[in-house]
């Protein structure tokens, strides 16, 4: 009888990767509606995760075009403030339509720390670094972040070190290095710029790990993203005066580029990023962003007429190859 009762008290749940595990039913016998939705067949979840990942990397790649268009007319703080103000407004609409579900009160301070680090400090550090470093050098330093996430998520989030991830992430990073070396224009890197780019990388890695922790603790992805964006926007308010001055002198197309950055690479892309991160490991999700430089090269070629060098094509190919390797499943055959 005990064995039959145990069988009846267990249900099979499909995770994103299609693996099955057992989870005990509540003693009350009631099933939460969200749990039922979560147990949908992996074949339904898999394509949605893939689409969300593609949307994220394409929109983040387009951000480089937007920053190129707006950067000369806004200082780092003003650019970040306007982008986050627009992004927070767009996220408010998304969150209201999705349904606002507050995180646990004990996690509120972590949400604020995550939002300030991701949406304020990261943006300021990256924007400032690109004023003293060329884009290639900045990209190489900042893209240390996914490797950091792979290492620290394996150590602290107990995600382990899957062979595809350990092989694919360095391949993709090598592609970023090739792209960076061929787009570098500076004779010698500026130390302050390198430190700022490194700070951006640390913020990227730390905030990805913290976000994964909050999502794993049950925080709603959309609400978390909106609250984090609000925290980052509030932290950027000291640049209000600079933003007002920039808006009076910036051409309309530069301002529209910032509006684009707020709606698409911020509001939409960070929402899809959270969706993917909630359903995948932090290491695998962050490694996927190595495809961003390759997409950015193609966009710059198509939109700005910047023809890539042959080695940049090689670097882009390595980025794509590395990301494909990280998404592979190497398992033992039965």
Within-domain flag for 332: no
Look at residue 208 in the predicted model and tell me its pLDDT.
Answer: 94
Give the model's confidence band at 147: pLDDT under 50 very low, under 70 low, under 90 confident, else very high.
Answer: confident
Give the model's confidence band at 5: pLDDT under 50 very low, under 70 low, under 90 confident, else very high.
Answer: very low
**Mean pLDDT score across all residues of the chain:** 81
Of 150, 197, 155, 157, nearest in space to 172 by CA: 150
Classify residue 97 by its DSSP letter.
Answer: H
Neighbours of 48 (CB within 10 A): 15
Nearest-angstrom CA–CA distance, 224 and 222: 5
Give the least confident one: 9-18, 82-91, 149-158, 206-215: 9-18
Look at residue 132 in the predicted model and tell me its pLDDT.
Answer: 75
Over 90: is that where the pLDDT of 96 sits? yes
Strand 10-14 versus strand 20-24 pairing type: antiparallel
| Average pLDDT, integer, range 95-124 | 94
| Average pLDDT, integer, range 257-275 | 96
Answer for the pair 200, 126: CB distance below 8 angstroms, yes or no: yes
Over 80: is that where the pLDDT of 195 sits? yes
Within-domain flag for 331: no
Long-range contacts of 238-243 (CB under 8 A, 24+ apart): 238/77, 239/75, 239/77, 239/78, 239/80, 239/81, 240/81, 242/75, 242/77, 242/78, 242/81, 243/74, 243/77, 243/78, 243/81, 243/82
pLDDT tens string 278-293? 998 888 888 888 888 8
Within-domain flag for 239: yes
Over 90: is that where the pLDDT of 1 sits? no
Within-domain flag for 24: no
Look at residue 325 in the predicted model and tell me its pLDDT.
Answer: 86
pLDDT tens string 14-58? 333 333 343 443 444 444 434 433 433 334 467 899 899 999 999
| Average pLDDT, integer, range 95-112 | 93
Give the least confident one: 3-12, 46-55, 240-249, 302-311: 3-12
| Average pLDDT, integer, range 235-252 | 97
**Of residues 143 and 3, which shows the higher confidence score?**
143
| Average pLDDT, integer, range 319-323 | 84
Look at residue 302 in the predicted model and tell me its pLDDT.
Answer: 85
Classify residue 103 by its DSSP letter.
Answer: P
Within-domain flag for 3: no
Within-domain flag for 261: yes
C-alpha to C-alpha distances, 212 to 10, 12, 274, nearest whole angstrom:
27, 24, 9
- Overall domain count for the chain: 1
Helix 292-299 × helix 163-183 angle, to 10°: 30
Neighbours of 6 (CB within 10 A): 11
Look at residue 185 in the predicted model and tell me its pLDDT.
Answer: 59
**Half-sphere exposure at residue 315, Cβ-oriented, CA atoms within 13 angstroms:** 27
Nearest-angstrom CA–CA distance, 152 and 104: 25
Domain holding 311, by residue range, is: 55-326
Look at residue 107 in the predicted model and tell me its pLDDT.
Answer: 93
Find the DSSP H helices in the chain.
2-8, 33-38, 42-70, 76-98, 108-115, 122-132, 135-142, 145-156, 163-183, 191-216, 221-235, 240-249, 252-261, 269-279, 282-288, 292-299, 310-326
Within-domain flag for 151: yes
Within-domain flag for 9: no
């Amino acid at each position: 009888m005990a064995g039959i009762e145990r069988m009846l008290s267990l249900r099979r749940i499909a995770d994103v990767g299609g693996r099955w595990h057992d989870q005990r039913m509540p003693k009350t016998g009631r099933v939460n509606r969200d749990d039922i939705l979560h147990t949908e067949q992996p074949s339904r979840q898999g394509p949605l995760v893939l689409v969300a990942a593609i949307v994220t990397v394409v929109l983040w790649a387009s951000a480089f075009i937007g920053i190129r268009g707006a950067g000369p007319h806004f200082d780092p703080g003003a650019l970040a403030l306007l982008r986050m103000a627009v992004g927070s407004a767009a996220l408010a609409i998304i969150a209201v339509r999705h349904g606002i579900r507050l995180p646990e009160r004990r996690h509120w301070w972590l949400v604020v720390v995550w939002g300030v680090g991701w949406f304020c400090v990261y943006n300021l550090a990256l924007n400032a670094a690109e004023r003293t470093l060329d884009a290639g050098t900045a990209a190489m330093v900042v893209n240390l972040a996914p490797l950091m996430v792979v290492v620290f998520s394996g150590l602290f989030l107990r995600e382990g070190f899957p062979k595809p991830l350990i092989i694919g992430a360095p391949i993709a990073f090598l592609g970023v290095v090739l792209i960076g070396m061929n787009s570098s224009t500076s004779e010698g890197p500026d130390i302050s710029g390198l430190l700022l780019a490194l700070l951006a990388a640390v913020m990227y890695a730390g905030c990805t790990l913290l976000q994964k922790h909050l999502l794993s603790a049950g925080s709603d992805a959309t609400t978390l993203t909106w609250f984090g964006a609000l925290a980052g926007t509030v932290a950027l308010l000291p640049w209000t005066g600079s933003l007002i001055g920039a808006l009076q002198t910036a051409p309309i197309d530069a301002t529209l580029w910032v509006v684009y950055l707020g709606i698409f690479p911020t509001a939409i892309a960070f929402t899809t990023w959270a969706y993917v991160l909630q359903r995948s490991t932090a290491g695998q999700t962050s490694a996927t962003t190595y495809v961003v430089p390759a997409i950015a090269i193609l966009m710059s070629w198509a939109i700005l007429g910047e023809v890539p060098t042959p080695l940049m094509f090689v670097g882009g190919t390595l980025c794509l190859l590395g990301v494909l390797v990280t998404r592979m499943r190497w398992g033992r055959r039965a």
